[in-house]
Structure 1
Amino acid sequence: MAKSVIVTARPCRARLVVLSSDDHYVQRMSALLNGNNHFHIEHLGSSNSLLTHLSKHSVDIIITQINAELMDGLMLPCWIAELNTSGRLQRVPHIVWTVQTNSTLGTSSLIAGNEHGWRTTLNGVSSTALASHARLAGAAGIQVEIVTEGQPDQVLQVLERLASIEHPLPHRDQPERVEQLLSEDDVVSVMATGEGLRVVLQPQYDLASRRVVGAEALVRWQHPRHGDVPPSLLIPMVNRLGLDLLLFSYIEKTVIEILGHLDRLGIDIPIAINASAHTLCASGLATRLAHKMHRAGLPTGRLKIELTEEMAADNELALSASITALRAKGFPVSLDDFGAGAATLALLSRMPFDEMKIDGALVRAVGQSPQSSEIIAGIVSLARLFNINLVTEGIEDIASLELLSRLGCKTGQGFALSRPMERNDFLNLITQ
């Protein structure tokens, strides 16, 4: 329920909501605006109460704090866009993110600039990722500003400027329908029971030393009547039925158990889990994963998340928030299938990834023409430019492996190195 804090008796020009469960933060914001006649201030302590409030009342500005432990602010533009798309929003509010820092960096330079790098942080969140997310919100029609609490004059100037700004509603695109490829009853049943599902692991190797440096977890389904069901049939159906998070949870549980076993053996290698854009945008995913890893006594850096699904442009805002939240918790995030579908240079330039994986189709073409080798060499240079790791997947023969190594690819996976392995076989390989 909304708790109102009126700071002026005069008629207000703009309705401002302070979103925070931290009473000290609310007091600081109220003290900052005390005596200012531009605003009527309300305090809401949770995202749920805010969303209910926005569907019933007009709000001009929402101000909230940003740090690695509080991810509601990152998700706020996504929730506003969803409310607007569903027709439940009274007015598209502007958003102000506040950070506690002694930096003298101006708001406009933070949002516009790239010179700080993904590794520079504000309250534990990458400054450039934060600025990129703000730009994506702006592209969706939601004005976002980033200010520092240590500059009260700047905060007031930004709030007063936003109080007079109107902007159009975000663009609405219709999601594409995925064709039904499997029996819905069969897929729902296997997701509910787990019967016939298992996780296999494909090792990733250092191409120079042939040492295992990681692995990718893959799901397999042994259907009681039809035998092995290809993932290319299972995964699209799971996504269409909205069961992707359930499948992700099943794989994540198994992978954490394997990582725990490796940890007890003193082996420190990451294992990657594939996830669709929809899965990554599940509410509280980063926090839930971090809790499970901490409970297992494992560093979050050992669980890698790979983005695999093609996505529409209007999902980029939510995806940007989710990736930033995962990275703030210490999870590496990889862009799978670079060079295919949504895994484009434009997406890579807009999102903060730790790694990218070259699409298998590009890898299989290497050596067939000078152009194919030049493309791979260009991707290697691109990875160096973005200062992110590069994994080459789909290596199917020794000749390609040697050529890829000469082109600068350092890590790879594929049938030429190892096929996906059952859990015990993988553990035996690692321990040997």
Structure 2
Amino acid sequence: MILNVAVPNEFSALRVITLASDAACAHRLASALSGLGVLPLANVESLDALQAWLEDSPVDVIVCEIRPECGDGLMLPSVLKARHESGKLAQFPGIFWMGETTLGTPGGAIDSARTFAHEKPGKPLWIKYMGGVAVSALESHARLARAAGIFVEIVREGGTLDLGDALRATVLTRVQPDPSLRKNTFDALAEDEVIHALTTGDGLRFVFQPQFELLSRRIVGAEALVRWKHPRFGEVPPSVLMPLVNRLGLDLLLFSLVEMWTIKVMLSLKRANIQIPIAVNASAKTICTPNFAGRLAARMRQAELPNRLLKIELTEDVSEPNELYLSASLTAIRAKGFQVSMDDFGTGAATFALLANLSFDEMKIDGSFVRGVEQHSSSRNVIAGIVNWARLLNLSLVAEGIEDESTIPLLHRLGCRIGQGYALARPMEIDAFLNFVTQQNSATTSAG
């Protein structure tokens, strides 16, 4: 075991160790961390050594490399879960899987489900690997770990920004300084700072990600998103911000802010004679606010905008225990002409139950399936099943999280007509979004 001495930096409160069976691997991990000013407390060489370390010392993050010859990183969630269930581990440390990403073919084996009408029989598909493991398989394994309450991040080797974001998210949610400095803990600061940000707008930005018709690349909608830049921690990931907002009961306030800016964007587009629906995320708790539908309708009427342009996207951030009340609220929203969309469809049994029991206009296929669509027939089968289900229920469908250009024609062949993601367009600041939409509209009009 190699012990190091920690040095003060923005991540100095994090207790980080690396898991590597050889010196070369340990050096690679330490170098990646040192680029961000992080010096691991130790490197442990095996899962047994790790468990011995955890007996004596709490850990916030375990960083390990994914490699074919070493399965310790993949087994790590199972080991932590077993220790937690036996009462030997009070809090799960976060897990960062790191590795070099490469492209390859699945050993020359051809899956008949990969062959489509526009492809030559036997044509292999390229698969993205990290350390010899298909990235889609890693994502699937990570989803299971997260469902068990273990924070897992897949970090590309050399991706300093990804590693920094992962460390920053851990700082915001996990680190607890010395009890004598309780008044300076992030938990105490977070409440004040989140409230301050939402009431003053300081550090908040509202961005818009276009949605496209995949075949023509015509913009047919957008999603409104919020970003928060913390004065000390920088960009706060949505996965950190939203739980804080919901815990503080500020979800309705945040929705109102995003709704306000969305209406301003709609009015700007209206002046350019452009009307596209824009989705705003809302938790079940927000949607069940008394007279929610009436208030929305009043705001749109005041702006002289048709209700059909505002789409309410139900998230699973906060569940509503009274399903009957949620059903009534969703029905009231739709009755006033607003569209209702279900976000992240397919991520859990809850989404299937909601779709079976409640009424929607649209559902969005979770990005984890979209990212695996080229590599795995199971992802393609799931998407094909969702497409058929959407047709049976007369629902519109949006594929989200499209990150690779090559997946777009494949998704279209599977029946997905609308999509969003980095391969199409990243979320844009308001002015950039307005310019982008108006320029495309002008080009389309000229071509017509």
Band of TM-score, shorter chain? 0.5 to 0.7
Q: Does structure 1 residue 234 correspond to structure 2 residue 257?
A: no
2:313 is aligned with what amino acid?
E
1:347, CA displacement in angstroms?
1.2
Q: Does structure 1 residue 325 correspond to structure 2 residue 332?
A: yes
Choose which of 187, 205, 212 in structure 1 pairs with 2:194: 187
Q: Does structure 1 residue 258 correspond to structure 2 residue 284?
A: no
1:314, CA displacement in angstroms?
2.4
1:186, CA displacement in angstroms?
1.2
1:341, CA displacement in angstroms?
3.5
Partner of 1:4: none
1:378, CA displacement in angstroms?
0.7
2:438 is aligned with what amino acid?
T
1:238, CA displacement in angstroms?
0.2
1:346, CA displacement in angstroms?
2.1
Q: Secondary structure at the match of 1:220?
A: strand
1:208, CA displacement in angstroms?
0.6
Q: Secondary structure at the match of 2:321?
A: helix
- Write the distance in 1 (CA, Å) between the matches of 2:317 and 2:270: 34
2:433 is aligned with what amino acid?
F
Choose which of 205, 218, 228 in structure 2 pairs with 1:221: 228
1:250-306 deviation line (CA, Å, top 9, x unaligned) = 100000011111111110100000001101111111101100101101000000000
2:367 is aligned with what amino acid?
G
Contact between 1:337 and 1:343, CA under 8 Å: does it hold in 2? no
1:196-227 deviation line (CA, Å, top 9, x unaligned) = 11110000000010011000000001112221
Contact between 1:277 and 1:309, CA under 8 Å: does it hold in 2? yes
1:320, CA displacement in angstroms?
0.7
- Write the distance in 2 (CA, Å) between the matches of 1:343 and 1:250: 28
- Write the distance in 1 (CA, Å) between the matches of 2:231 and 2:353: 43
Contact between 2:242 and 2:317, CA under 8 Å: does it hold in 1? no
- Write the distance in 2 (CA, Å) between the matches of 1:324 and 1:336: 17
Partner of 2:408: 401
Contact between 1:335 and 1:357, CA under 8 Å: does it hold in 2? yes
Task: Report the number of matched residues.
Answer: 255
Choose which of 197, 203, 227 in structure 1 pairs with 2:204: 197
1:345, CA displacement in angstroms?
2.1
2:333 is aligned with what amino acid?
L
Q: Secondary structure at the match of 2:268?
A: helix
* Residues 328-367 of structure 1: pairs in structure 2 closer than 5 A: 328-341=335-348, 343-367=350-374
Choose which of 296, 300, 305 in structure 2 pairs with 1:293: 300
1:397 is aligned with what amino acid?
D
Partner of 1:279: 286
1:106-148 deviation line (CA, Å, top 9, x unaligned) = xxxxxxxxxxxxxxxxxxxxxxxxxxxxxxxxxxxxxxxxxxx
Structure 2 residues without counterparts, runs of 5 or longer? 1-148, 150-169, 174-186, 440-448
Distance 1:294 1:312, change over 3 A: closer
- Write the distance in 2 (CA, Å) between the matches of 1:224 and 1:310: 25
- Write the distance in 2 (CA, Å) between the matches of 1:341 and 1:281: 22
- Write the distance in 2 (CA, Å) between the matches of 1:315 and 1:218: 27
Partner of 1:60: none
1:313, CA displacement in angstroms?
6.7
Contact between 1:391 and 1:411, CA under 8 Å: does it hold in 2? yes
1:344, CA displacement in angstroms?
2.3
Contact between 1:311 and 1:342, CA under 8 Å: does it hold in 2? no
Distance 1:230 1:364, change over 3 A: same
Percent sequence identity over aligned pairs: 60
Contact between 2:224 and 2:279, CA under 8 Å: does it hold in 1? yes
Distance 1:410 1:195, change over 3 A: same
Choose which of 246, 250, 272 in structure 1 pairs with 2:253: 246
Bigger shift: 315-324 or 197-206? Answer: 315-324
Partner of 1:303: 310
Partner of 1:424: 431
Choose which of 384, 390, 396 in structure 2 pairs with 1:389: 396
1:315, CA displacement in angstroms?
2.9
1:342, CA displacement in angstroms?
5.8
Distance 1:343 1:419, change over 3 A: farther
Structure 1 residues without counterparts, runs of 5 or longer? 1-175
1:36-63 deviation line (CA, Å, top 9, x unaligned) = xxxxxxxxxxxxxxxxxxxxxxxxxxxx
